[in-house]
Amino acid sequence: MDLIGTSAVVTGAGQGMGRQIARRLMQHGADVLVFELNGDVAARTAQELSAETDGAARAIAHAGSVADTADVDAAFEAATAAFGTPQLLVNNAGVASMSLIVDMPAEDWDLVLDVCAKGPFLCTQAAARRLIAAGLPGAIVNISSINYAAATDGLAHYCAAKAAVSQFTKVAAAELAPSAIRVNAIAPGLTRTPMSEGGFLDGRMGEEFIAHTPMGRFGEPDDIARVAAFLCSEDSGWITGATVPVDGGGHIRGLHNYWATMHEASVA
């Protein structure tokens, strides 16, 4: 595939889906800024990904929060200084916790909405402003979730944030299309990442997920990364404003009740 540009910013790229997305883009020739909250993780990832390409593409690390305007601007300035105006952006950074609405601390709500919804807004804004000023086309991919449409108890903040991401994707696609900037989203199902480890993949919980997934397996980070690379390429040049489910068909049957399954497991 021919990517739209030769450099990218990938948020939350230190591990999991973000790391694999960065790797895929580099395999297709893009230099990548690894935008990650943890500086040590960012630096290690950038070093390892750069070593894999044998000099064909570079990764550089940048530590900061996607929910902080100054950090976002600094990240895009660093990417521009290193590679030129980045034409590709993947808004992957995310965070989640579980709590019923009546018990949820306001701080938990704020954190999830800040990272999962405000982050894509700030990064999209920063990317679009620079692309428009430079007169360059671009592609932006937002990582949403099956939870943008399928609700489950205990994840009110996460479901709300991911629904916001998919609606934001549509508006951004409409506004930025005249500037030749496409904006799409990916809605993964349960994927093997550090965020999903620690109970979601094991035992009764894992069995429930598999039962609701027609293709009968969990997702792997590369399942998401391949679609992200496609949406960043010329091959998807007539696609904008879409939220693409990459979930083995999980959206067909919807989600089981995570909270009830976890509660049953704890009682047992």
From the list 76, 75, 89, the residue with the least C-alpha distance to 138 is 89
> Does residue 158 carry a catalytic annotation?
yes
**Rounded to whole angstroms, how far apart are CA atoms 39 and 71?**
12
Query: Alpha helix locations (H) across 105-155?
Result: 106-113, 119-134
From the list 224, 134, 157, the residue with the least C-alpha distance to 187 is 224
- Phi, psi for residue 182 in degrees, rounded to 5: -95, 145
- Tokens 């910013």 locate to 9
Do 92 and 13 contact (CB within 8 A), yes or no? yes
Q: Which of 35, 83, 121, 158 is catalytic?
A: 158
**Rounded to whole angstroms, how far apart are CA atoms 26 and 15?**
15
Do 49 and 33 contact (CB within 8 A), yes or no? no
From the list 226, 245, 223, 243, the residue with the least C-alpha distance to 235 is 226
CA quadruple 194, 162, 5, 131: dihedral sign: negative
**Rounded to whole angstroms, how far apart are CA atoms 33 and 46?**
8
Active site residues: 158
